[in-house]
Amino acid sequence: LLRRPGRGSAQPSVAVDDVLGGRLAARHLLGLGRRSLAFAGGPLEVTQVADRLQGAGEEVQSRGDATLEVITVAERTLAGGRAVAAQLLRRPPGRRPDAVFAVNDLLALGLLQALVAAGVRVPEDVAVIGYDDIEFAAASLIPLSSIRAPQDDFGAAAVELLLGLVDGTAHDTQLTHPPALVVRASTAGTDGTENKEKA
């Protein structure tokens, strides 16, 4: 139950609204004045990845004065993030995005590590935001901004849905919960204090 089914599926589920999460990430970066954004993630056939990209793309398109480059990766891992950084570092500084939305925190942390090691200033030169708000996000050398899924709500919602399916009282069998933006130093240049925002 605790995952998003494939598109068009009628399978009961409790999931995070990843389209909204993508919008929140892009909206935050745009609100900071960033206009050359990149989305790093893959494979694009994965529903969560596609939804996060869709949300970011919609938000960027609604602004009209910004761009969103898509950088696909085979692995959503620390190594994948370092590979994205290597790709960006091969470009002259003026041709790099000024913000990167990574599809998950591991990818973002690998990217962040490699950029800092190469002397790129985060967030001054490139802002970085991840997704999932894993424990290591806040503990990073530069604390990572992220999109947090409301995990505390998932278990209770899944139990309620399951009981409703058993006794026939479940009306909506595909439940989505809104994620929240957690702002840290990798985008805002703060001291690491958190700021949570929902849609």
Classified as helix, coil or strand, 168 is coil
For the entire predicted model, the pTM comes to: 0.84
Classified as helix, coil or strand, 145 is strand
Classified as helix, coil or strand, 147 is strand
- More reliable by pLDDT, 151 or 119: 119
Element (H, E) at 69: strand 67-72
pLDDT at 13 exceeding the cut of 70: no
Task: Give the lowest-confidence range in 11-20, 124-133, 184-193.
Answer: 184-193
**Domains along the chain?**
13-150+178-190 (3.40.50.2300)
Tokens standing for 52?
Answer: 């996060």
d(CA 147, CA 137): 10
Q: How confident is the model over 64-105, as pLDDT tens digits?
A: 999 999 999 999 999 999 999 999 999 999 999 999 999 999
Q: What is the mean pLDDT of the chain?
A: 86
Q: CB within 8 A of 198, min separation 6: which ones?
A: 24, 178, 179, 180, 181
Element (H, E) at 177: strand 174-177
Classified as helix, coil or strand, 151 is helix
d(CA 145, CA 137): 7
* Residue 162 pLDDT: 57
pLDDT at 188 exceeding the cut of 90: no
149 confidence band (pLDDT: 50, 70, 90): confident
* Residue 155 pLDDT: 59
